[in-house]
Structure 1
């Protein structure tokens, strides 16, 4: 039987009218499983028709439901991580639904009061929503009624949602939905190409349930070039105009040439500040260049305008961050520029996949490297991406702040529950499948003893109940729907016309928010006039030399495996050089393996080649090397961002304890940098001490004094409802907060976040044991 024949006649006609025949590989493989009612995770590159792969078989089965027209209610919940995705999906879904006389609605924070009222009395068959809005739907009396008919749930961009606490919130929410419908729901997950998809599928569906995983590999036509622009005399002159270096000018000039040569381009950066700075520099070099800047701190209208202008052909490029990494359809884009290493293979695949975003077209892109390390990192990531060596999703384990919020939601709809009932609900979801009774009781005790109490907990009866006054419970639940860390933000207002330019984070305003300070936003320079309340008033300035808003915590970590491969390349060049192989031959050999120009490799390897000719310690993935450089000591460690951050924390603690003063220790993915003029022999003794005495306690020592931990604690405390979101928090209050919360679930969760997101304890422990065993040397 032909695949098309599996669909009802009405849908077959719509499929032919839409012109999506022949079906794509993901559609061919997904359709039969979904039509049979199986839970499914579909992992496929962008632009391969994943949305239709999930939607069409569900619509086919939906119109066959006997009570579809007799009983009002939502049948399909389509959950996406971004409201902008919801806007994009509505048009596509509405077209398909109209062919079957079905209705589609969108429900999120921007939905008008009239639309919300209409959905309550005349619910759509298909509702597109976000994880946060689902939390509202699950507790509203009338809204719960329209969800009782749900039989299908599609979770779009699964890899994005399950990587953080939004995914935890969603998965417990789906368990609450199953209780509401009194039965199982067919769940379809849609994901970009990621590592270990089977684990991701199991995590999505929950313990004791079956899920089919369909993985479609990256197409062979996926094309990525890695380049390393070298400055010329032209760039020396341009650097004067940019008030920067010739290297920066060379990269900016290369970007402009790509933009001019292509119909539509997305230019990805890894941080918002880089996007602002790069957008500004490009416009300085060519004020007529048709580009815009797009990131999450810009105003909604500014972001939508950039998207629409790119789609409509009014501009040729958008400088963006991960804000345009997800499945928004910008179909005109034929090329992607990644400024600097994408840091992870999965990011490269997702971003370059934004180009050629039509079935049958080829995804094409280029990585413009910034320095030698960045170039080697980029070619390693390219190789890993093309060989399907992608980073897996690492969901959080048993987050206690989300646990508290979900218990609050359950108690809004159920007046009281026994501990065993509560455990059964929570353990049905993957994040809390191993939650112990003791862990649950600790949270219940803490939240029932706070003022005002959120729960009433009776240990002797093993019972938890709503508080007598429901106000605090409702306020806590609805004020903490988002698990995204809350950073107080200030509206940036153009004083000339009162228009909203964007937002600034509280840290920037606290440090630099004085009249006369200039910064770049939306690719334009603004001069700060005054700060009044939660608004920063500005005026446009023609002088391009300005400060950049400082956003914390944006850097994407370089994985251990990537850093190790970069280290192995350095080691290979040194080792082969000491065996008297010719430099040019080594370069050609490595270049052929990685698909790059040998001349570009020479720029990265020239310095290390000089080391190869000397009798000095070599650097490699298996050897760490200590190097003294005036007032610094550099330990070359190819262990990636999180491991090197862990090592830098331990060494900093040991040095401070030994010297009786705070010693600053920095890191990057390839080295740890001690800002002190110490002899290498002393650092070697320190390293040996770390290896011999390593324990998690070494990381935790003095933790409450670090800015990184205090920020984590602040975000966790806000999710627990301990601190109001709008409260002004200074460093002294944070220090006192850390001391007062020691030993509580809030402190415990902040430590867990730090150890799992910022540090990598398990890999560090493994590496250190290998040094002790002699498998690695220093």
Structure 2
């Protein structure tokens, strides 16, 4: 039913792309977005959240005739920006919309081009949005802004980046007037708080929880140390216990077509990658401290099947398209239920497929902790996220930025902007 509500031109492209039946999040969200409501959509990875937001937005765009930026698509990561550009470009090419990316890696020549000929849809990060707001030319191009989509908003809400974004949205309101706000999120225990961050203190909006019963399977493994692990530890320069964990991971990798190995720190990613390579395992490392070129090379190699496994941090928790993943390994306890769900959800990426996760416990304490987290994940008992309340450093930063933006601003107007932002 939901696809029938879309503009005929969008329906035509849907048929061309082979989309026939909407996913549960698409069924739940498309009508509400077409009605112009502010929406926070909670749905699992691989469920078509992006299309749930952008298909109705593009349907409404067809009726527009603006030469300026009509939609901002905000993501937490530059890598996710690039991925969204690749995914949305097909729809934009078919429907005749211009689309561009602007973030820290964007060349100066491309920035100038955007200033002179703004795209219809601009994909950016929260940090680059702050820079856009003090750029006179780009501010002019935002006067006809109609839609703001914030992807993976749960990732921003837990840090001061979320507080910065909340104020930035109110500063956008000062430039363009009211616009429709759409947030895309993984499951969280307190979605009302995330919604306030997105909608602000003076607007209504709707929370759509489209978390269907996606099947998950978890196994907690505490590998027994064998004689061969002692020998392997000498080759890899590690302990027999870590060598036994690597042996168990090798077994999982060899039974799978492609595997993601999640670790909790970048240092662990590098150390584990080095030791696995010494033992002849075809792996690569991916995290936010790598150069843009290195990250793209790893993503492409994984997508093409040139490497069997990728060791990664939270950089791969989000919806970056890296092709098929049939197994996820969590090295050491994930510490959080929501993190385990998000990471394991990268396997069996299609919403009807089983997501399989293996937790490699490194100590007896981790066995118990991991088992409890896995049980709570199966019961969908996720933690509440903590939003930073009234962070004074963000306040100081935003006051300085607002003065930079306007040159001079009255205290009354400054307070109005800040009070509309939550919290």
Question: Where on the TM-score scale, by shorter chain, does this alignment land: which range?
Answer: over 0.9
Choose which of 286, 289, 313 in structure 2 pairs with 1:297. 289
5 Å-filtered alignment, 1:404-443, equals: 404-431=396-423
Aligned to 2:311: 319
Choose which of 170, 179, 197 in structure 2 pairs with 1:185. 179
Equivalent residue pairs, number: 423
Quickly say closer, same or farther: Cα 1:251–1:55, change in 2 above 3 A: same
Aligned to 2:145: 150
1:591-626 Cα offsets, whole Å, 9 max, x none, are xxxxxxxxxxxxxxxxxxxxxxxxxxxxxxxxxxxx
Q: Where does the alignment leave 5 or more consecutive residues of structure 1 unmatched?
A: 432-778
5 Å-filtered alignment, 1:250-649, equals: 250-286=244-280, 289-431=281-423
1:183-219 Cα offsets, whole Å, 9 max, x none, are 2110000011111112211232111211111112253
Q: CA deviation at 1:397?
A: 1.1
Q: CA deviation at 1:238?
A: 2.8
1:468-522 Cα offsets, whole Å, 9 max, x none, are xxxxxxxxxxxxxxxxxxxxxxxxxxxxxxxxxxxxxxxxxxxxxxxxxxxxxxx
1:510-562 Cα offsets, whole Å, 9 max, x none, are xxxxxxxxxxxxxxxxxxxxxxxxxxxxxxxxxxxxxxxxxxxxxxxxxxxxx
Q: Where does the alignment leave 5 or more consecutive residues of structure 2 unmatched?
A: none
Aligned to 1:5: 4
5 Å-filtered alignment, 1:175-214, equals: 175-181=170-176, 183-214=177-208
Q: TM-score, normalised by structure 1?
A: 0.53
Choose which of 111, 116, 121 in structure 1 pairs with 2:111. 116
Higher relative contact order, chain-length normalized (CA < 8 Å, sep 6+): 2
> Once structures 1 and 2 are overlaid, which stretch shifts more, 29-38 or 390-399?
390-399
1:14-72 Cα offsets, whole Å, 9 max, x none, are 1112123211101100111001000000111101000000000000011123xx1xx42
Aligned to 2:213: 219
C-alpha contact (below 8 Å) 2:348/2:354 kept by paired residues: yes
1:137 aligns with 2:136: no
C-alpha contact (below 8 Å) 1:83/1:130 kept by paired residues: yes
1:365-422 Cα offsets, whole Å, 9 max, x none, are 1101111110100011011111111112211111111111211221123233332221
Quickly say closer, same or farther: Cα 1:374–1:14, change in 2 above 3 A: same
Q: CA deviation at 1:269?
A: 0.7
Aligned to 1:101: 96
Q: TM-score, normalised by structure 2?
A: 0.96
Choose which of 66, 72, 75 in structure 1 pairs with 2:67. 72
Please say which structure displays the higher CA radius of gyration: 1
Please report the RMSD computed on the Cα atoms of aligned residues, expressed in angstroms.
1.5
C-alpha contact (below 8 Å) 2:214/2:353 kept by paired residues: no
C-alpha contact (below 8 Å) 1:74/1:146 kept by paired residues: yes
The DSSP-based 3-state class of the residue aligned with 1:416 is coil
Aligned to 2:87: 92
Aligned to 1:51: 50
Q: CA deviation at 1:3?
A: 2.3
Choose which of 229, 238, 247 in structure 2 pairs with 1:235. 229
C-alpha contact (below 8 Å) 1:193/1:218 kept by paired residues: no
1:108-154 Cα offsets, whole Å, 9 max, x none, are 12222222222122211100011111112112111111000101000
Between the aligned partners of 1:156 and 1:141, the Cα distance in structure 2 is 26
Between the aligned partners of 1:125 and 1:418, the Cα distance in structure 2 is 32
Between the aligned partners of 2:392 and 2:311, the Cα distance in structure 1 is 37
1:36 aligns with 2:35: yes
Q: CA deviation at 1:86?
A: 0.9
Q: CA deviation at 1:75?
A: 0.3
Between the aligned partners of 1:246 and 1:135, the Cα distance in structure 2 is 49
The DSSP-based 3-state class of the residue aligned with 1:417 is coil
1:293-329 Cα offsets, whole Å, 9 max, x none, are 1222233322221111001111111111112222111
> Once structures 1 and 2 are overlaid, which stretch shifts more, 398-407 or 333-342?
398-407
C-alpha contact (below 8 Å) 2:39/2:208 kept by paired residues: yes
Between the aligned partners of 1:95 and 1:241, the Cα distance in structure 2 is 48
C-alpha contact (below 8 Å) 1:331/1:356 kept by paired residues: no
Aligned to 2:120: 125
Q: CA deviation at 1:243?
A: 4.2
